[in-house]
Structure 1
Amino acid sequence: MGRLFWKILGVVLLSNALVFAATFGVSRLLQDEHPIVKLRLEQTYRLAAKAIAAYNAEGHRGVVRFERRQRSRGHKLFLLDDQQRPLGKRLPPELVEQITDFPTILSPRENRAGFRPLYAVSVLGQDNRQYHFVAEFRLGLPHKKGEHRAVFDRRLIFLFLGIVISSAAIAWLFNRPMGTLKQATRRFADGDLDTRMPANMTGRRDAVGDLAREFNHMAEQVDALLSAHTRLLRDVSHELRSPLARMQVALSLIEQRAGDTYARERTRIQAEIERLDTLIGQILTLTRLESGSQPLQRAPCDVVALLDQLMQDVRFEHSGDQRQLHYHGPEQLMLQADAARLHSAFENVLRNAMRYTPDASAVTVTLSVVDDGCEVVVADEGPGVPEEALPRLFDAFYRTQDAREADTGGVGVGLAIAQRIIALHGGRITASNRLSGGLAMRIVLPIPD
């Protein structure tokens, strides 16, 4: 249960408690006799009858013995004759002054002999003699004969339980749709654009129903916008492929006819064409991954062999510089994966690390088995990434300010492709700065049982 449930429960409980307190206070003002006073008076008359019976049976000794038993229970009792002479223990002088008539009821604040409620009554005994009886009760609710607790006490308990149960039910009714909305929002934020609120919520005719319908409208609008964006990227990329191919053909014809003339410019043009062709290929790959048009082709795959082949290619490409590439891990580790897609993900991460690590430094690839699968860590010794930029590294076309100024050649698509591929395999990829300097990419993939 979330904090919203406890907040609603607290508000409802407080409001019920205030209503109960106000009702209880008004009832006290309107009633002639308070329920507790009535019960205490009944208890006083019962005790008086017992005290008179003890006096008739054993005289002064019987009354003292009866008063002593009641004192052990927290009550002070005094039996007097019709002339207010004590038949047991003497009445304290303070009470003699205060009790001028029978019956007399004193609240704890009015009782000068002690902070206790006092009840003084006149009783006609079975011997037709008049007796006066004074009872000082301990603070608390009175008990009826033969009952463990008072009726008024039970009513309070049942009332309190009823308030708690009803308040919890109201809080649950309010909190449940909010929990459903929270889960739907989280799934939508995680990329499940088909998430919609269920019909039992959109069909409601209240504020919750309005909120559910607005959520579905928002989801449809966002889904439509992202789908249009994906189609635009795909269509533009397809359209660019044709003129790009024609440019490559035209450049080849120029090289054949011009010989060595403008060789430097032709080399630059060829490099830019290849860079543009790579970018278009990455965009098409990203749109296919996001649209799900090409599902994974899973098969037994040795991750170690995959990484080894990729590292050999990268070492060959960087044989002219002083960057080193190291591997630590087992000699074999099998997964159920799409080898081609996984190769593409590892390649994007590894080439990104080699691109940003400086000369005379190293990139380390570590493979290990962890609790929730196998972990591949690619760590470089580059400048790292600002902490606030780490969550956005896997967004398409995102590049940090340092990367833009350095003009490393990337356009911010490779890591987005890697993240989508890893997610399709049921894994996750995260980035963090190393304490010793550089960036560490952690890829976790599930291992089949």
Structure 2
Amino acid sequence: MCSLFCKIFLSFILITLFSSIITLVISLGSQVGPYGKLQSRMELNQVQTLINSLSATGFAVTKIIENGGQEALIGYLQDIETRHYIRIFLLQEDNSNLAGGKLPQGAADLAIFSRDTRDIQYKILQREIIAALPLFTKEGQSMILVGSTARMMPFEIADDKTGNIWQWLMFFRHRFGAPLIIMVLIAWGGCYLLARSLTAPIRNLRKATQQISNGDFSARAEYSSYRKDEIAELSHDFNVMAEQTESLIQSQKRLVRDVSHELRSPLARQNIALELARQRFSEAEPYLARIEKESKRLSELISQLLILTKLEGKIDDFVNEPVSLDKLLREIVQDADFEAANKGKRVEIQNFDEITVTGSEEMLRQALENVIRNGLHYTVNGSAVEISITKGKNDAEIIVRDHGPGVPQEYLEQIFKPLFRVAESRGRDSGGNGVGLAIAKQAILLHGGSIEARNVEQGGLIIEIHLPFNS
């Protein structure tokens, strides 16, 4: 097995070696030796290029002079300057420039020395390189052809910033332009592929983790079967864990569903037996009433559990239709207020905007009714549950506030979990079964919304719901 450490180590080694080989090839191809010889090699190369250009130009100049075409000679020299990026001067026997123009510094002395030695001479100045070539015609006329070209200085500081930048650009353009770009692209490509190879499975693992945290236990981390490193092992172990978790969750839901279904029949028979017992044993009415109360509570709990199990699973018959949210809430508020009047409580509407959302009216009714009835359970006698619905930019905001004891801060998120109970006042004696808010949360989440609870400083609890217009 090739571990992740080995892959990183070997990859960096191979990229470094490959980059070194490319650098060596560039150095050999450009004739760039050690640092101390770089400048001298460049200067000799420039001198040789300039002398070759002067030799070819000198032969043509001699022929033009012998044919007596001075105007053609001047035109030819100007053409050479344009095509070869060098400056050309033709000095007569009195050292006057035939084509006119100012000679480079030291060119006159170099021309005299070349005439005396009857040989090619060159001189390397700070900014340019000049060379002088003696010419002799058939009539015995002696002339000096002087050429000048800019000196390339890759590691010397120029007098001005612009000149320094230009020299560096010229150096890289002529010596390292295309090879340097190729080397950079190869190094970048190698590192990019390495980084992508290492991070792609981690991104897939993170994506699967997020899906599971959102309730999709069928999510799995994707990875290549050819990978045999630690990341592949981690992805495999994660998939095994996710599969076992999904199996446990499904078994738990199936158990709750099956038990709830199995309990419904005995409860129905028990209710029938209660009615028969009332007819025969009237003196046992208080005990029978207690049994009936507990039976109704148990029946309600079973119904709620079955609804919750349905919402937590895959709903194939989900109806997505326009729902008038304000109208639906008014119906729920009217029913809840009528029932709460007997207990000295009431439900008040604070603000109602006309809002239409898309979704399942049955599920939304169940969710909102559970939240409102939850508030009625805990609001104190003589107080009201206040409800408002406000139209936002992209969603509807529903606020339900009661005037009860509130919820400890550490339990605000847990009250939406199935069968969770807060101690003391929010307990079993209040009439709740610990499933209503869980059903509300699942229904809201199925519609792409959100639900949260927070305490009020003056006392009471606020449940805030956000529902998008298009779920």
Q: TM-score range by the shorter chain?
A: 0.5 to 0.7
The equivalent residue for 2:367 is 345
Task: Give the counterpart of 1:219 among 232, 242, 250.
Answer: 242
The equivalent residue for 1:182 is 206
Q: Are residues 1:409 and 2:408 paired?
A: no
Assess, with a 3 A threshold, how the Cα gap between structure 1 residues 150 and 37 changes in structure 2: closer, same or farther. Answer: farther
Residue deviations 1:171-228, cap 9 Å, x none? 1221122112211221122112222344xx2523323433333333223222221111
Do the aligned partners of 2:405 and 2:425 also contact (CA within 8 Å) in 1? no
The equivalent residue for 1:104 is none
The equivalent residue for 1:172 is 196
CA distance in 2, matches of 1:249, 1:326: 39
1:245 CA displacement: 1.8
CA distance in 2, matches of 1:394, 1:349: 11
Counting only pairs closer than 5 Å after superposition, residues 121-160 of structure 1 correspond to structure 2 as 138=156, 147=171, 151=175, 159-160=183-184
CA distance in 2, matches of 1:394, 1:405: 15
CA distance in 2, matches of 1:392, 1:317: 28
Assess, with a 3 A threshold, how the Cα gap between structure 1 residues 58 and 398 changes in structure 2: closer, same or farther. Answer: farther
CA distance in 1, matches of 2:464, 2:435: 18
Q: Secondary structure at the match of 1:329?
A: strand
1:374 CA displacement: 1.8
Assess, with a 3 A threshold, how the Cα gap between structure 1 residues 296 and 149 changes in structure 2: closer, same or farther. Answer: closer
CA distance in 2, matches of 1:44, 1:300: 83
1:147 CA displacement: 4.0
Counting only pairs closer than 5 Å after superposition, residues 356-367 of structure 1 correspond to structure 2 as 356-367=378-389
Assess, with a 3 A threshold, how the Cα gap between structure 1 residues 168 and 389 changes in structure 2: closer, same or farther. Answer: farther
The equivalent residue for 2:258 is 235
* One-letter amino acid of the structure 2 residue matched with residue 192 of structure 1: D
The equivalent residue for 1:244 is 267
Do the aligned partners of 2:421 and 2:427 also contact (CA within 8 Å) in 1? no
Assess, with a 3 A threshold, how the Cα gap between structure 1 residues 165 and 331 changes in structure 2: closer, same or farther. Answer: closer
1:349 CA displacement: 0.7
CA distance in 2, matches of 1:333, 1:310: 16
Q: Are residues 1:309 and 2:331 paired?
A: yes
* One-letter amino acid of the structure 2 residue matched with residue 295 of structure 1: D
Q: Are residues 1:391 and 2:445 paired?
A: no
1:351 CA displacement: 0.9
Task: Give the counterpart of 2:187 among 163, 168, 176.
Answer: 163
Residue deviations 1:262-300, cap 9 Å, x none? 443333222111111110111111122223356223444
CA distance in 1, matches of 2:420, 2:224: 37
* One-letter amino acid of the structure 2 residue matched with residue 177 of structure 1: P
1:363 CA displacement: 1.8
* One-letter amino acid of the structure 2 residue matched with residue 268 of structure 1: R
Do the aligned partners of 2:375 and 2:385 also contact (CA within 8 Å) in 1? yes
* One-letter amino acid of the structure 2 residue matched with residue 189 of structure 1: S
CA distance in 2, matches of 1:142, 1:375: 65
Assess, with a 3 A threshold, how the Cα gap between structure 1 residues 348 and 150 changes in structure 2: closer, same or farther. Answer: same
Q: Are residues 1:258 and 2:278 paired?
A: no
Do the aligned partners of 1:184 and 1:195 also contact (CA within 8 Å) in 2? yes
* One-letter amino acid of the structure 2 residue matched with residue 309 of structure 1: E
Assess, with a 3 A threshold, how the Cα gap between structure 1 residues 157 and 338 changes in structure 2: closer, same or farther. Answer: closer
1:161 CA displacement: 5.0
Do the aligned partners of 1:143 and 1:150 also contact (CA within 8 Å) in 2? no
CA distance in 1, matches of 2:250, 2:307: 15
Do the aligned partners of 1:304 and 1:330 also contact (CA within 8 Å) in 2? yes
Q: Secondary structure at the match of 2:405?
A: coil
1:327 CA displacement: 1.3
Residue deviations 1:402-426, cap 9 Å, x none? 5565742323211111122222233
Residue deviations 1:333-381, cap 9 Å, x none? 3333322222111111111112222234332111111122222221223
CA distance in 2, matches of 1:312, 1:146: 86
1:44 CA displacement: 6.2
The equivalent residue for 1:196 is 220
* One-letter amino acid of the structure 1 residue matched with residue 277 of structure 2: I
Q: Are residues 1:56 and 2:110 paired?
A: yes
CA distance in 2, matches of 1:341, 1:18: 59
Larger radius of gyration: 2
CA distance in 2, matches of 1:229, 1:68: 88
Do the aligned partners of 2:406 and 2:455 also contact (CA within 8 Å) in 1? yes
TM-score (structure 2 length as normaliser): 0.64
Percent sequence identity over matched residues?
A: 33
CA distance in 1, matches of 2:306, 2:439: 10
The equivalent residue for 1:36 is 35
Compare 414-423 and 47-56 and name the one that shifted more.
47-56
Assess, with a 3 A threshold, how the Cα gap between structure 1 residues 148 and 323 changes in structure 2: closer, same or farther. Answer: same
Do the aligned partners of 1:202 and 1:213 also contact (CA within 8 Å) in 2? no
1:159 CA displacement: 4.2
* Structure 2 unmatched runs, 5+: 25-31, 51-104, 114-123, 130-143, 145-152, 158-163
Assess, with a 3 A threshold, how the Cα gap between structure 1 residues 381 and 292 changes in structure 2: closer, same or farther. Answer: same
Counting only pairs closer than 5 Å after superposition, residues 428-447 of structure 1 correspond to structure 2 as 428-447=450-469
* One-letter amino acid of the structure 1 residue matched with residue 35 of structure 2: I
Do the aligned partners of 1:297 and 1:337 also contact (CA within 8 Å) in 2? yes
Do the aligned partners of 2:15 and 2:190 also contact (CA within 8 Å) in 1? no
Assess, with a 3 A threshold, how the Cα gap between structure 1 residues 152 and 332 changes in structure 2: closer, same or farther. Answer: closer
Compare 277-286 and 243-252 and name the one that shifted more.
243-252
Task: Give the counterpart of 2:355 among 324, 333, 336.
Answer: 333
Assess, with a 3 A threshold, how the Cα gap between structure 1 residues 58 and 188 changes in structure 2: closer, same or farther. Answer: farther
* Structure 1 unmatched runs, 5+: 1-7, 28-32, 60-65, 71-76, 78-125, 127-134
Q: Secondary structure at the match of 1:410?
A: coil
Residue deviations 1:59-113, cap 9 Å, x none? 9xxxxxx96768xxxxxx9xxxxxxxxxxxxxxxxxxxxxxxxxxxxxxxxxxxx
